[in-house]
C-alpha cells in the first residue's frame, strides 16, 4: 500500500527534518487483522462462558497456550445473541505484544472460519515475507458475497505496496466498488477502492476515476492522491499530460493537493514502464520550470523513492528567486546533495 495522501515510502530522517509515514499513501492505514495476528504469538477463539454468558472463555488455541487465559472483555448483547444461534461461531482474540493485553479482532462465522484457518496456516511464512501470495489471497476475495469478508480483503490490500498491488490479478465488480464510494461510513476504504478501479481495464471504471479526480480536487486527505494515481494508471502518458496541465499547473489548487499529484507521478516513474517514466520526467521538468514553488514537494516525493532524476531542474528552481521557507530550502538542498552522489533510475 497496499500500503496508507501525501503518500510515500519511508525516507531517511537525515534527508528531511521530519519522518514521513511508511508505505503507500503516506497515511497510516490502521493495522489490518493479518498485521495484528502476525505480530502475536498468542491467538485464540472464544465463546461466552457456560456459567456466565457475559464473560468470554477460550475454546480453541490457534497459537500459544490456552490454559490460564482470562479474557477481560464482556460479551456484548449483539455477540451474545449471535453466538446463541450458532454453536460453531466464535470470536477471535490476540495478545497484543506492545500492551500485553488481549484484544478482540473479529467475529468468526462460517464465512470467516476458512479465512482465519488460511491465515494461521501461513502465519510463520508470512512473518518472513511472502507478500505477493498473502495479498493475492485477499485480492481473490474482493468480490466475495459477504460484506465483512469484502471489507476485510480491502483492508488487507490497503497494506500492500503499490508495486505489489499492480501485480495482483483480480476480478473487479466495478458497479459494486463504485456504489460503496461516497457513504461516510465507507470513507476509510475509499482510497484502496479507487486504486483498484484504476487497475481495471473497464471503461466504466476509468470514467469514474476521471470524474472523481475532478470532483475531489478541492478535497483534503488521501482520496485525491488515490484518484491521481488511478488516473495515471488508467490513462498512462496521455493522463500524465492532462494531470500536469489541468491540475498541477493550477495555482488555485492547494499546495497539499499539488504535492499529492507529484507523489502520484513519482510512484509511476518507477513502475517499470520506461516510456511512461520519461514522459513523467519531461512533464515535471516543464511544470517545475514554470512553478518553482513546487520544488520542495518534488524533492520530498522523488527523494522518498530514491529517484534523483530531477537534480538539474530542482537546482534551477532553487536558484530562480522563488521564496521558500527554510525547511523547504533544506529539503531541496538535501535532495541535491544526495542526488550528486547517485545514479538516476530509468536513465
pLDDT of residue 228 exceeding 70, the answer is: yes
How many CB atoms within 10 Å of residue 283? 20
Q: How confident is the model at residue 185 (pLDDT cuts 50, 70, 90)?
A: confident
Q: Which helix (H) or strand (E) holds 309?
A: none
311 phi and psi, to 5 degrees? -60, -45
Cell numbers at 166, concatenated: 499492480
Q: How confident is the model at residue 343 (pLDDT cuts 50, 70, 90)?
A: low
pLDDT of residue 261 exceeding 70, the answer is: yes
Which of 224, 202, 204, 226 shows the shortest CA–CA distance to 214? 224
Q: How confident is the model at residue 342 (pLDDT cuts 50, 70, 90)?
A: low
Phi-psi region of 104 (alpha: psi -120 to 50; beta: other; left: phi over 0): beta
pTM of the prediction?
0.86
What pLDDT does residue 13 have? 34
Lowest mean pLDDT segment, chosen from 14-18, 24-28, 121-125, 213-217: 14-18
CA–CA gap between residue 137 and residue 135 (Å, rounded): 5
Q: What is the dihedral of CA 218, 219, 221, 225, to 10 degrees?
A: -70
What pLDDT does residue 28 have? 62
Which of 303, 294, 302, 304 shows the shortest CA–CA distance to 328? 294
Which of 205, 282, 275 shows the shortest CA–CA distance to 245? 282
CA–CA gap between residue 268 and residue 274 (Å, rounded): 10
Amino acid at each position: 500500500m497496499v500500503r496508507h495522501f501525501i503518500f510515500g515510502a519511508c525516507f531517511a530522517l537525515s534527508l528531511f527534518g521530519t519522518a514521513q509515514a511508511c508505505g503507500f499513501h503516506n497515511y497510516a492505514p490502521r493495522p489490518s487483522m493479518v498485521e495484528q495476528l502476525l505480530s502475536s504469538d498468542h491467538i485464540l477463539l472464544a465463546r461466552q462462558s457456560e456459567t456466565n454468558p457475559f464473560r468470554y472463555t477460550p475454546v480453541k488455541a490457534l497459537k500459544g497456550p490456552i490454559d490460564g487465559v482470562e479474557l477481560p472483555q464482556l460479551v456484548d448483547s449483539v455477540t451474545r445473541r449471535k453466538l446463541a444461534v450458532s454453536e460453531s461461531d466464535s470470536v477471535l482474540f490476540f495478545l497484543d505484544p506492545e500492551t500485553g493485553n488481549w484484544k478482540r479482532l473479529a467475529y468468526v462465522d462460517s464465512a470467516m472460519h476458512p479465512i482465519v484457518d488460511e491465515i494461521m496456516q501461513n502465519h510463520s511464512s508470512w512473518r518472513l515475507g511472502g507478500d505477493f501470495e498473502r495479498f493475492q489471497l485477499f485480492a481473490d476475495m474482493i468480490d466475495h458475497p459477504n460484506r465483512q469478508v469484502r471489507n476485510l480483503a480491502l483492508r488487507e490490500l490497503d497494506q500492500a505496496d503499490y508495486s505489489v498491488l499492480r501485480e495482483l490479478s483480480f476480478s473487479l465488480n466495478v458497479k459494486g466498488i463504485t456504489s460503496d464510494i461516497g457513504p461516510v461510513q465507507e470513507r476509510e476504504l475509499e482510497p484502496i477502492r479507487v486504486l483498484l478501479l484504476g487497475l481495471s481495464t473497464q471503461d466504466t471504471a476509468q470514467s469514474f476515476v476521471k470524474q472523481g479526480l475532478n470532483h475531489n480536487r478541492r478535497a483534503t486527505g488521501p482520496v485525491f492522491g488515490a484518484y491521481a494515481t488511478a488516473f495515471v494508471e488508467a490513462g498512462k502518458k496521455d493522463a500524465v499530460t492532462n494531470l500536469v496541465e489541468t491540475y498541477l499547473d493550477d495555482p488555485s489548487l492547494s499546495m497539499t493537493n499539488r504535492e499529492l499529484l507529484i507523489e502520484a507521478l513519482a510512484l509511476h516513474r518507477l513502475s517499470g514502464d520506461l516510456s511512461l517514466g520519461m514522459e513523467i520526467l519531461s512533464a515535471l521538468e516543464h511544470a517545475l520550470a514554470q512553478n518553482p514553488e513546487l520544488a520542495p514537494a518534488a524533492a520530498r516525493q522523488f527523494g522518498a523513492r530514491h529517484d534523483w532524476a530531477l537534480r538539474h531542474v530542482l537546482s534551477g528552481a532553487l536558484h530562480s528567486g522563488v521564496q521558500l521557507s527554510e525547511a523547504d530550502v533544506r529539503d531541496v538542498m538535501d535532495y541535491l546533495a544526495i542526488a550528486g552522489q547517485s545514479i538516476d533510475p530509468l536513465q
